[in-house]
Amino acid sequence: GNEFVSTREVKIKKDLDENIMGKHVIVVEDIIDSGNTLKTVLKMLGNRGPKTISLCTLLDKPSRREVEIDVQYIGFEIEDEFVLGYGLDYMQKYRNIPYVGIMGNLDELETKE
């Protein structure tokens, strides 16, 4: 969305194309924050009968966790900062920055785009 805080609403815009019953599933995330969305998604996937579900994330913010989430594969653990770049955005901007950086002064980012 266009906010710094989550609406806590999970919307499925595209469902799976394949049946996952009896299969090993790996969910790949860009960033895990509170864990609320993932908990809902993992429950939905678990109801489809996979043999296993593993979780992989590029970035993990454990200090923001509100629910327990078991993450098997973590690229980087980060502090509680709003990060941009490498696909992460703010209001559909800055996702094309070729690195992950902490959002600071938006004016500086505007001049670099």
Active site residue 89: no
- 84 CB neighbour count, 10 Å cutoff: 22
Q: Which residues contact 93 (CB under 8 A, 6 or more apart)?
A: 109, 113
What is the reported pLDDT for 8?
66
Which H helix or E strand runs over 67?
Answer: none
What is the reported pLDDT for 5?
56
* Domain range list for the chain: 21-79, 81-112
Catalytic residue (choose from 15, 17, 30, 33): 33
User: Cα-atom radius of gyration of the chain, to the nearest Å?
Assistant: 16
Residue 26: strand pairing partners: 54
25-71 pLDDT per residue, tens = 999 999 999 999 899 999 999 999 999 999 999 999 999 999 999 99
* Tokens of residue 112, six digits: 């670099």
Q: Which pLDDT band holds residue 7 (cuts at 50, 70, 90)?
A: low
What is the reported pLDDT for 81?
86
Q: What's this model's pTM, rounded to 2 decimal places?
A: 0.76
DSSP 3-state assignment of 45?
helix
